[in-house]
Structure 1
Amino acid sequence: MRSIAFVVLSGLLLLVLTGCWDKAELTEFGYVQAVAIDRNASGKFELTTLFYVPSAGSETQKPTRKGITIKTQGDTIFDALRDISSQFGRKAKWDHMRIILLGEQLLRKQSAGEVLDFFSRDHEPRATVLMLVAEGQAGEYLTVKPFIEYTIGQQLRKMEKIAAKYSANTSRVPLFDLAIQLKSETGIATVPFAQLEKAAKTVTLAGVAVLKEGKVGFILTPAETQSLLMLTNQYEEGILEFPCPGKPDSPTDKESFEVFSLDTSVNPVIQHNEAAVDVRIKIKGSVGELRCSALMSREEGEQFEERIAKQVERDLQKTIARLQKEKTDALGIGNRIFRTNPALWKRWKPAWPDHFAAIRFHVAVEVRVLNTGMNIGTPFGKKGG
């Protein structure tokens, strides 16, 4: 009798456990690839949301399109997002989003922290979604046709990752890292900067936007960005160009060096209520192109390495001078002082921009050439090459 009662009770429990009380069909959702945020003429937030369109039929069949954009507006980000379903007929899903674009014009007037507050609180967006500051209106960028990826959102994400790793012309900043920068003691953040060529309908990532108190302060060029990544020890791989001896202004008489590894140490030194920073950088790589140099002896190799080191030092000093002129500590020196000497930072923090502008930087660069490539150390086609 007990066995029969146990079987009946177990069957009833199984019926309860297999219920689909919270089921949702895939056709109820639209999967977001990217979102661009601007302000329109009426002062409302304007969102351009890019959705992924699943392909119908076989995998070998080329789809007509893989992404569509929906424009909405509202007094708040949440308000604009809720209006998507009234146009799209599906609920937006944010957990597969690739990238967030913030319009430069928007961030000139409003803090990035205020704009991104929804994405930091909602449970769907991931902290690893990448960030971009777009020149002009960000919404225009999501109408560009991708070259090889399925959607422009995926292309922009790949561009940010690959450009930061291999060319060092821009950086790579996930949402979580941006939050850390904005909440740091200095409050300075750097975000990759995108530009749109409207005639050719192409997007280029070059340089970074420097945010002060969450707003765009100024833009660093690709060359300045390379130096910034070196100074902050975020430089992975890239190409260094330097002029031939005696031809500093020639656009054609240049040589190049491929960087394999770069290691930076930055040490602030406080003496007599003044700060100095010692920067030491070690670079390893191989010869990229030779036009005017010969590397046939140890002495010639050392002179070649010295030329590269001096050029890098000059470039670093130019970038440091730009940051000091702007009174913007994008190098995180204030954060380092806060960690090592909180009492001193407490005194310096109110006037830190002026303190940073007065810092003396000592920069030393060491370059080591690992190989000259397939040819002996002379320009291709010349005798001995």
Structure 2
Amino acid sequence: MKWSMAKWLTIFFLFVLSGCWDKFELIEFGFVQAIAIDQTEDGKIELTSHFYKPAGGGEGGTAPVKEKGPINIRTTGDTIFDAIRDIATYLGRKAKFDHMRVILISEQVAKTNNIEDILEFFSRDHEPRATFPIMITMGRASSYLDEKPFIENTMGQQLRKMEETTSRYSGKTVKTNLLELAIQMKSEVGIARFPYVYRMKNELEPINVAGIAIVKKGKLADIVSPEESAELLMMTDQYEGGIIKVPCHDQGTTKQGKMDSFEVDRVETKLITAVEENSLRIRVKTKIKGAVGELHCAPIVTNEEEKKFSDHVQEKVTQEIKKVVEHLQKKKLDAIGIGNQIYRKDPSLWKRWKKDWDERFARSQLEIAVDVTVTDTGMNVGKPLPK
């Protein structure tokens, strides 16, 4: 019987591909969920690796593990890679970074070291994915991995979900992964924005992921508060959703008076630069659409009342944007990327301005135009609670 070429090729591949030339078993690895980077007193890297602990038994048996949950392994070294290779001496397995959820960097490390150098290993090695978030922490980064998660299986996953939901629903922080960080750091202004992790008072307080850490030339330069983060996100077109609180005008203060709430559905912002002789004018045009969330100041029944409410929201957002920009100008931090826009628009002009850009940005004039559209007043089912 004469065999066809297809049959001979089938037999060949069955023999050649039936075995694994580079075989690894699951029990040889420890899967890293999170990394915390701190610094020792003598300047070395202190690495805390947060591992997922499987519920089943280890090698040689299938008996259930009595203590479930993640474990932390702390190592030190002159470099990140040095500290990582020492993990095996404690864990008995090779650390694997394919499923890492987050990296935490302490303020101390971010202030005294170049973050690009700190993250060199994770951007060069083939295992870590470029989509994991990077956060700056108040105090020691490792202390946040010692906490127990509220609902997720590990603190690594808990922190990642906190970053995602805070950015999406409250507009109080930014989402930054390794890939986005590389793009920001290599931009003309060289400024990157990170989520900020902190506790309100002490280690007994719940963990918050809110606020934005600003890194300039590789080092931590400033922290934007959660209250001011929304306007910064609006100007960078990263605002996904949140609430704008509007004080009652007849009360005169937000501390003592009651407040209305406006739920934001969509924000579109355009930053327009205008060069006048040797000076710069920045125009911020923001369009906001949303619905009335809660009313304590005045009813919205007529078109005039709706217009008055939208004007109040517009006034509040305008004031907050101005406040944030003035803060950035005082710190000489172009965190909204005006310099990058000038470079794209006129490279020759940017070449002349780049060397003293910090001063030019601080002196630039600002114009703000905010347009607010109320899409829903919440009165489609009538007045819910009579007064």
Give the aligned length. 379
Aligned to 1:355: 360
Deviations 1:269-302 (A, max 9, x none): 1121211111111111111111121212111111
Aligned to 1:184: 187
Aligned to 2:160: 157
Aligned to 1:39: 39
Aligned to 2:85: 82
Aligned pair partner of 1:330 in 332, 335, 338: 335
SS at match of 2:82: helix
Matched-pair contact (CA < 8 Å) for 2:54–2:68: no
Measured on the aligned residues, the alpha-carbon RMSD in Å equals: 2.4
Cα distance in 2 for residues equivalent to 1:165 and 1:155: 15
Structure 1 portions without partners, runs of 5+: none
Deviations 1:203-259 (A, max 9, x none): 111101111111111110011111100111111110000110122324341111111
Aligned to 1:102: 105
Deviations 1:61-104 (A, max 9, x none): 99842211100010011000000011000001101000000111
Aligned to 2:149: 146
Aligned pair partner of 2:345 in 318, 340, 344: 340
Post-superposition shift, 1:54? Answer: 1.5
Provide closer, same or farther for how the CA distance between residues 344 and 9 of structure 1 changes in structure 2, counting only shifts above 3 A: closer
The answer to whether the aligner puts 1:135 opposite 2:145 as a matched pair is no
Aligned pair partner of 2:204 in 193, 197, 200: 200
User: What pairs up with 1:1-385 in 2 under 5 angstroms?
Assistant: 14-56=14-56, 64-196=67-199, 198-200=202-204, 202-251=206-255, 252-374=257-379, 380-382=385-387
SS at match of 1:173: coil
Provide closer, same or farther for how the CA distance between residues 319 and 10 of structure 1 changes in structure 2, counting only shifts above 3 A: closer
Provide closer, same or farther for how the CA distance between residues 8 and 161 of structure 1 changes in structure 2, counting only shifts above 3 A: closer
Letter in 2 for 1:38: D
Letter in 1 for 2:268: D
Matched-pair contact (CA < 8 Å) for 1:255–1:290: yes
Provide closer, same or farther for how the CA distance between residues 267 and 17 of structure 1 changes in structure 2, counting only shifts above 3 A: same
Cα distance in 2 for residues equivalent to 1:373 and 1:63: 52
Cα distance in 2 for residues equivalent to 1:156 and 1:333: 31
- For normalisation by structure 1, the TM-score amounts to 0.93
Letter in 2 for 1:116: L
SS at match of 1:316: helix
Structure 2 portions without partners, runs of 5+: 58-63
Matched-pair contact (CA < 8 Å) for 1:296–1:378: no
Deviations 1:164-215 (A, max 9, x none): 0110111110111011111110001110100036443531111011111111
SS at match of 2:158: helix
Alignment identity in percent?
46
Cα distance in 2 for residues equivalent to 1:352 and 1:52: 46
Matched-pair contact (CA < 8 Å) for 1:290–1:378: no
Matched-pair contact (CA < 8 Å) for 1:294–1:378: no
Cα distance in 2 for residues equivalent to 1:85 and 1:101: 21
Letter in 2 for 1:48: T
- For normalisation by structure 2, the TM-score amounts to 0.92
Cα distance in 2 for residues equivalent to 1:377 and 1:370: 16
Cα distance in 1 for residues equivalent to 2:370 and 2:204: 40
Provide closer, same or farther for how the CA distance between residues 201 and 223 of structure 1 changes in structure 2, counting only shifts above 3 A: closer
Cα distance in 2 for residues equivalent to 1:250 and 1:16: 74
Deviations 1:20-43 (A, max 9, x none): 221111000011100001111121
Cα distance in 1 for residues equivalent to 2:288 and 2:168: 16
Provide closer, same or farther for how the CA distance between residues 315 and 378 of structure 1 changes in structure 2, counting only shifts above 3 A: farther
Cα distance in 1 for residues equivalent to 2:7 and 2:286: 74
SS at match of 1:179: helix
